[in-house]
Amino acid sequence: MSQIIACRDIFKDYARGKLTVPVLKHVTFTVQQGEYIAIMGPSGSGKTTLMNIIGCLDVPTSGTFSLDGEEISGLSENRMAEIRNKTLGFVFQHADLLPELTALDNVALPLLYRGVRKKERRARAAEVLEKVGLGDRMEFYPNQMSGGQCQRAAIARAIVGNPKLLLADEPTGALDSQSGKNIMQLFRQLNQEGITIITITHAAEVAQEADKCFHIYDGELFTDREVSAR
């Protein structure tokens, strides 16, 4: 099993006027290809900042972060955008589907940015929509689907490019309990098919679905064992 993420002594600070505000401190952890990881913490703990670094949307102030063997700090924005498009899939709390596009065209959109021809990208989008249980909703617009169906379409969009790593930030936070359970079952299925998953959450019932859970408090990351010993 190969290592897909290596964070070593990550710090992240933000400047607020003349003040420097520390958000992440001493964050060190690794993730192996094929693992299903949860990072759990309350609002303001730094978990979304950590997700942004893992997702190549931000860079640490200090420390090193490697993704799939490549050191990210110092890369050009173009290279980081390429990594986001080809290596990563993103699922957020709100599906953020484009309202003027059908489910099929929303899911196919990342392939358009890769230059995939229309016939192929629509075929691949249809395939993943079938996988997530929306085979009968391909031509529906977002306002014609439930919240759970929209989130399934967002997951299909995230995996249509066959990412190595799926990043989910509060993926069930806007859903009712049954839709949330359905989404977590889908994540488990995708993980069993080989996709590495990291989900950021404040909900214990979401975190317990993962194989391993880290906890983040005041910008510092702890294992389950370290939390129990506190």
pLDDT of residue 43: 85
Burial grade of 109 (CB within 10 A; 0-12, 13-18, 19 or more): middle
β strands within 33-164, DSSP E: 36-40, 62-67, 70-71, 88-91
| pLDDT tens per residue across span 30-69 | 999 999 999 998 888 999 899 999 999 999 999 999 999 9
pLDDT class of 203 with cuts at 50, 70, 90: confident
pLDDT of residue 181: 86
Contact 67, 31 (CB under 8 A): no
Average pLDDT of 169-188? 87
pTM score: 0.90
| 206 φ/ψ angles, rounded to the nearest 5 degrees | -80, -45
Q: Which of 19-33, 68-82, 170-184 has the highest mean pLDDT?
A: 19-33
